[in-house]
Structure 1
């Protein structure tokens, strides 16, 4: 969930970091005026904070049209009367201020200057914060500059009618001309941290000085040529999640208020009503309990994505279509949280949740299913005595580092592209790093009629503790993205 960190070095600035999205929003307050940068979908915390500070939200600054989450700019503007501000070239379908490069906005004693920094997207802008004396204090860099990385230049190719190499070249110029000339003591507040799909090499820290980034960020090397930058920034980019363009569309064109989404999504459904809704609407039954609970028993053909893992990004990557109807099986008391977190990545078509959870489903005598799961020790014994196929659903980088010798790579990120790789009748093993992703993968396979799965509980973390032969620093054996 969200954590709010007071940054004592700059009074009046708070970073609101949401770990499950690896996303940073910002609250800036001075003399009763507030600016919010890149707000989350649920806006009440910002409003409550401003009321507590006896302040008024004056501006909502968006660094760009986000792809990995739905911003709260429209709802926040509606509820507060604040002006939405985008950088140059933005063309939203709603009323907003489209700032000019170097245009300045006053927030109490602070001045926020717009630096147009295209490259990640064409409208991408960095907001430079100045104090009352005109001293540069901080930059809110959006997806232009991360800590340890820069924004990927391949997401806006279609909209910009440019190649990723051309966008990377623009990003190079933006960094060199707008950001790197700033003083080393300027603080960098990025839109994302480690774990976000918007970059590939981000640090776990969420705040740093620009001077330190100039020293250690590969993309800010002073002696780097434009050609070197383009090559390094575009090298090794994995395909973006399929829900990204849909989130951009929502951020650009509009969406339902979260209140309406919650009203629909938190309807209590009895087991009979739940079953009827699933049959009549074609909804995905999404089970967000712990993987151990799902393994022991679940609704047939339901998909597992646990609320306590990388929930929203995995839902976005694997369900993909944000219009897909969804029915929820959740731990008691976490239904609203589930609907809220789905809405953050654009899944607004939640139809309700199973009242009483899975236990109510069982008590009603409904059909149930289980997933065969074994320990790493049992896996070792069976692997040594039988010739059963093994599949590794981790990321390619994890697989390349070390994997079970017999394992084939079928990354969860692209599982839907590799369904033909799995045997339809012969049993096979499935593992990930810690047991979360393998159960997600198993649930998807079972929903598609593949039931001959043996999950390795605890994943590679437990496998390494046995003496199962592993391979290190090799190429993927069969499956490539």
Structure 2
């Protein structure tokens, strides 16, 4: 028996490869299926089943393409109604993979079709549970994403999740390994651990949602407290996972169309395409195509694209580092953005050599920023998440989280220079690009973000828990 967690950090997502005696089960595959197919070939094994824990909202799964490629059936738990052929398993149904048994545990609550899969070894002993978005390490799946589809309130879904955890998950042995669908960084929960593998016993000790003496009312209150609105692209990804999608090879072929600066400019003007620049924030600050949006490929790329662009049908033109256009298109497709129509051949340097107009972002080091704010009072905008800001921030700074920056546009002054920062410089450059695309140019980015601000000795306000106040 071998179990491999294939973890994708950008999405904080875990897919699983399970092999026994030449038979393979895949759980929650990513859209690009080559790694799973190649791994099975390496093991001289055949992919027998593709298990889906639910209709994922935060990424497009590879189940449809993988089934088409291998002939392996797709398996969902009860209540799933996909538009394609699939096995809709019953609660408790079992499937064999070599010497192993995979038992269906219907665990609704995150969504009503949410299902966990219990793996038993060749002796019939419970070995591991693949818990999808039902149970994470440190948290449980948010219960607000399926309200419309299930015709239920988030409170009713939370009550259902409470029952699922206590009747299907918590009775498992403490030594049973927990393999969740996500880790820290996913928007599918609030307090996900950085660890990606745990045990039932460990979660009973550390996960607030699995407290033995927790009432259903307490669970509902704690699980629903502090939920931020889900990213705009979530329901669109659910739709693709439920109804099917275009093969990724066709998406890549269309997107890797090399365009000269002249052709790129014509395409931008004629198609209303969004120009997405995925280079480093330093390169973008030095020079970029006017009104282009920066979301760097070497950061939390795909989730930020989904959160800020929203519409998966949006035509996109790419400015990428040399040789990374296919990688960029692949990572866009993971979250359903399939409408890349080309990339700038030769990159930004080709644009400059063609004497095309370009823009830049003013950026200063934290030491210079310190000198400025010591001499004068100036508007400061912190684009970190509310929790980060509440914990620690510059006195008198405004919190305008990047996730919801379009809701804060009226707050940015038009008649004076203001400063923008985040934690390390990635998010503030995204914010700067969005503001400039909206015609707001009187901004200066603080390079290195809050980390550099503290290192420069700029005073910050620390949050003090009220219970510690005398």
TM bin, normalised by shorter chain, reads: over 0.9
Does residue 370 of structure 2 align to residue 373 of structure 1? Answer: no
CA distance in 1, matches of 2:233, 2:416: 33
CA-to-aligned-CA distance 1:299-325 (integer Å, 9 cap, x gap): 000000000000000000000000000
Match of 2:275 in 1: 285
Aligned pair partner of 1:157 in 140, 147, 157: 147
Report the Cα offset of residue 474 of structure 1.
Answer: 7.3
Does residue 329 of structure 2 align to residue 347 of structure 1? Answer: no
CA distance in 2, matches of 1:468, 1:107: 59
Within-5 A mapping of 1:245-256: 245-256=235-246
Within-5 A mapping of 1:372-451: 372-451=362-441
Match of 1:8 in 2: none
Within-5 A mapping of 1:76-91: 76-91=66-81
Match of 1:473 in 2: 463
- Secondary structure (helix, strand or coil) at the match of 2:269 reads helix
CA-to-aligned-CA distance 1:39-84 (integer Å, 9 cap, x gap): 0000011001111111111110000000000000000000000100
- Secondary structure (helix, strand or coil) at the match of 2:451 reads helix
- Secondary structure (helix, strand or coil) at the match of 2:165 reads helix
Runs of 4+ in 1 over 2 A off after TM superposition: 466-469
Gaps of 5+ in 1: 1-10, 476-481
Q: TM-score, normalised by structure 1?
A: 0.96
- Secondary structure (helix, strand or coil) at the match of 1:418 reads helix
Match of 2:449 in 1: 459
- Secondary structure (helix, strand or coil) at the match of 1:115 reads strand
Aligned pair partner of 1:40 in 30, 36, 55: 30
Does residue 170 of structure 2 align to residue 176 of structure 1? Answer: no
Let me know the Cα RMSD of the aligned residues.
0.9
- Secondary structure (helix, strand or coil) at the match of 1:464 reads helix
Match of 2:83 in 1: 93
Match of 1:209 in 2: 199
Match of 1:362 in 2: 352
Match of 1:223 in 2: 213
Match of 1:197 in 2: 187
Does residue 26 of structure 2 align to residue 30 of structure 1? Answer: no
**Partners of 1:303 and 1:440 within 8 A in 2:** yes
Q: TM-score, normalised by structure 2?
A: 0.98
Match of 1:273 in 2: 263
Report the Cα offset of residue 384 of structure 1.
Answer: 1.8
- Secondary structure (helix, strand or coil) at the match of 2:37 reads helix
Match of 2:468 in 1: none
Does residue 327 of structure 2 align to residue 319 of structure 1? Answer: no
Gaps of 5+ in 2: 466-470
Match of 1:121 in 2: 111
CA distance in 1, matches of 2:337, 2:289: 21
Report the Cα offset of residue 36 of structure 1.
Answer: 0.3
Aligned pair partner of 1:242 in 232, 239, 243: 232
**Partners of 1:400 and 1:474 within 8 A in 2:** no
The alignment of Structure 1 onto Structure 2 pairs a total of residues equal to 465
Match of 1:130 in 2: 120
**Partners of 1:303 and 1:447 within 8 A in 2:** yes
- Secondary structure (helix, strand or coil) at the match of 2:38 reads helix
- Secondary structure (helix, strand or coil) at the match of 1:275 reads helix
